[in-house]
Amino acid sequence: MLRRVREVPEGFVRTYGDVSPGAPRFAGTVLAYTEADVPWWRIVRADGTLAKGARQRALLEEEGVPFRGERVDMRAARIP
C-alpha cells in the first residue's frame, strides 16, 4: 500500500480506495500512523474532499493540483 502512495506523481492524487482496494479505511489508518516518508497529502477521499484540511490543501496547491471549490478536481487530478 505504501508503494502505491509513493508512486503518485507530483500534481496528482489517488483515493484511499485506489491505494487500498476493498479497505480504504485501512489506508487512512496506515497513513495516519506511519513514520515512513510518503506523500500522504496526495491521497484524498473519493469525492475529492481532504482529510487533513488546510494543511493538505496547501501542499497540493504547491504542486499545482486543481480544485473546484473545496474539493480536488478529480477529473483533472486523479490517477487510478
58 has pLDDT over 80: yes
Based on the number of CB atoms within 10 Å of its own CB, is 43 exposed (0-12), middle (13-18) or buried (19 or more)? buried
Query: What does the pLDDT average to over 54-61?
Result: 98
Count of CB atoms within 10 A of residue 71's CB?
Answer: 14
- Domain hosting 15: range is 2-77
Q: How far apart are CA 27 and CA 31, in angstroms?
A: 6
Counted domains in the chain: 1
pTM summary value: 0.95
What tens digit of pLDDT does each residue of 13-57 get? 999 999 999 999 999 999 999 999 999 999 999 999 999 999 999
CATH code (residue 26):
1.10.10.10
80 has pLDDT over 80: no
